[in-house]
A = this chain, B = another copy of it.
Amino acid sequence: MNRQALIAQIEKKKSVLCVGLDTDINKIPEHLLSESDPIFAFNKAIIDATADFAVAYKPNIAFYESMGVKGWESLGKTIDYLNESYPEVFTIADAKRGDIGNTSKMYAEAFFNAMAFDSVTVAPYMGVDSVSPFLAFEDKWVILLALTSNQGAFDFQLTENTDGEALFETVVKKAQEWATPEQLMFVLGATKTEFLERVRKAAPDSFFLVPGVGAQGGSLEDVLTKATNKDYGVLVNSTRGIIYQSKDRDFAEAARGAALKLQQEMQRILF
């Protein structure tokens, strides 16, 4: 998907909501466990219930991988369902991959060809040749880790170099030499409020994928006032705040209600 199509969808739905699909067999409603593929059944119901309000979906690959071959099948069905039933939504393989060139190429094959995701999250530690193989696919995106939402972000991402530049800023600066904002986004944790404007300044035209609103404590209002740009420029992820609102038969309805509430808040602040 190209940038124009993403922006058009944001304007149509008046939303920058991304729904995280961290689907855990131990957390989904019990009545789904009798389905032949409970994980896919859950995802399908959540997607159908929230697609009016969400512009992106982000399966967290670890949750599928932890279930082995079965999980990999559920993931494949989920991305196929999204592409067939909701071709307008932006899809993110939250995989945090990154390796030497010939290996990153294989990961790109996995997420862009074997499965047809629009984007994949990538870790920057190994540098340019670990990122560029993902950029060789037209209208496919790299979402590079810059400043993450977790506590461990403080261990290395804020280390300052001799110019007083934090590592996350070096990453954001350097990566923009590798790709344009038509193919490159950054991960920016909503929990790091004091840095939202600093990252926006370092990458004025880029989209940011923003996790950490809700369960992790980030403020939606802060993100939407400090990290946006003229093209909106953010995709705000919510996972636990949407998909696990109810463990009962009304789980999809409850997810729809939570997604609507977030969309309304986004519409109030952004549009």
Chain A residues with a Cβ under 8 A of chain B: 22, 60, 62-63, 65-69, 72-73, 76, 94, 96-104, 106-107, 109-110, 113-115, 123-131, 145, 148-157, 159-162, 167, 170-171, 174
> Are B106 and A157 within 8 A (Cβ)?
no
> Are B171 and A156 within 8 A (Cβ)?
yes
A113 and B114 CA atoms in complex are apart in Å by 25
Q: Do A97 and B100 contact each other (CB < 8 Å), given the known contacts A72-B69, A124-B125, A161-B161?
A: no
A155 and B170 CA atoms in complex are apart in Å by 9
Chain B residues contacting A126 (CB-CB under 8 Å) are: 96, 123, 145, 148, 150, 152-153, 157
> Are A97 and B96 within 8 A (Cβ)?
yes
Closest CB in chain B relative to A146 CB, distance in Å? 10
28 interchain pairs (CB within 8 A)? A60-B99, A60-B103, A60-B106, A62-B107, A65-B107, A65-B114, A66-B110, A66-B114, A68-B72, A68-B110, A72-B72, A96-B97, A100-B150, A101-B150, A123-B125, A123-B126, A124-B156, A125-B125, A125-B145, A125-B156, A126-B157, A127-B152, A128-B152, A129-B150, A130-B152, A156-B167, A156-B171, A159-B159
Closest CB in chain B relative to A127 CB, distance in Å? 2
A113 and B68 CA atoms in complex are apart in Å by 10
Interface centre among A60, A107, A123, A128 (most CB of B within 10 A): A123
> Are A62 and B125 within 8 A (Cβ)?
no
> Are A125 and B157 within 8 A (Cβ)?
yes
> Are A62 and B97 within 8 A (Cβ)?
yes
A167 and B127 CA atoms in complex are apart in Å by 13
Considering the complex, give the chain B residue whose CB is closest to the CB of A148: B126
Q: Name A62's contact: one of B60, B104, B151, B155 (CB within 8 Å).
A: B104
Beyond known contacts A100-B149, A125-B157, A129-B151: 7 more, CB 8 A cutoff: A62-B106, A65-B106, A96-B97, A126-B152, A127-B152, A159-B159, A159-B167
